[in-house]
Amino acid sequence: MKPLLEFKNLSFGYPGRPLFEGFNFSLKEGSRIGLIGPNGAGKSTLLRLMLGLERPKAGKIYFRGQELKKERDFYPVRREIGLLFQDPEDQLFCPTVEEDLAFGPLNLGLSRQEVAKRVAEVLQFLGLRGFEKRLTYRLSGGEKRLVALGSILTMQPKYILLDEPTGDLDWKNFQKLVSLLQNKMTSFLVVSHDFEFLELVCEEIFWLEKGRLEPLSKGQRRGIYFAIK
């Protein structure tokens, strides 16, 4: 199967801090990937590069085989790949839950009926029925996280990137997120420092350090798992 997104020979860095040099990576639909690594290794930057929020210094990015060059080329990528931010406050910029969930699909030009249907479906999916009129800034941390996820799901993306999604979740909401990812979602990449969480929801786990992405074998995973236990 053709990969959804592909990096070829990509280089990127911030002034005084090179991150990637000749970096290759590909993302396939239907994969559940975990990404772990030390602080500042460029995990979030990798996600930003995928969506065109940062541009590589050198190298090429392909989306469904098409090379991406201009800002405009990234529009379809953003439509099909959703990103859950580290801080849900940044993502929930509308006053009410309903409006926030509707923002994306309205921008896609869907009719109000279709949008209403999607909003209702997503709230049902997340187990947040009756939250339509709730004010986003009055939600609890966990609810904010779930609604932010919802605001991406209403775009009906093919693939979802999650950046540190477990930070502000209590045990109940943690369970909820785990079961959503395990049972109801098939294509996602999670960045997290929580190895146990990655073990629960991912098929493959990669270690990112010094611009290299190393898949962790079953044995290494078990080793890390017992090391932190």
Contacts to other proteins by CB under 8 A:
51, 53, 75, 78-79, 82-83, 85, 87, 89-91, 93-96, 98-99, 102-104, 106-108, 115, 135-137, 151-152, 155
- What is the four-CA torsion angle of 83, 84, 87, 92, rounded to 10 degrees? 90
CB closer to other proteins out of 79 and 193:
79
Half-sphere exposure of 137 (CA within 13 A, CB side): 4
Please report how close the Cβ of residue 93 comes to other proteins at its closest, in angstroms.
5
Q: What are phi and psi of 139, to 5 degrees?
A: -75, 160
Please report how close the Cβ of residue 78 comes to other proteins at its closest, in angstroms.
5
CB closer to other proteins out of 109 and 130:
109
CB closer to other proteins out of 83 and 224:
83
Element (H, E) at 47: helix 43-50
Please report how close the Cβ of residue 17 comes to other proteins at its closest, in angstroms.
17
Please report how close the Cβ of residue 159 comes to other proteins at its closest, in angstroms.
13
∠ CA 220-225-229, rounded to 5° = 150
Please report how close the Cβ of residue 98 comes to other proteins at its closest, in angstroms.
6
CB closer to other proteins out of 82 and 142:
82
* Interatomic CA distance for residues 193 and 98, integer angstroms: 31
| CA-closest candidate to residue 152, choices 126, 179, 191, 114 | 126
Tell me if 163 sits within 8 A of 86, measured CB to CB. Answer: yes
CB closer to other proteins out of 16 and 219:
16
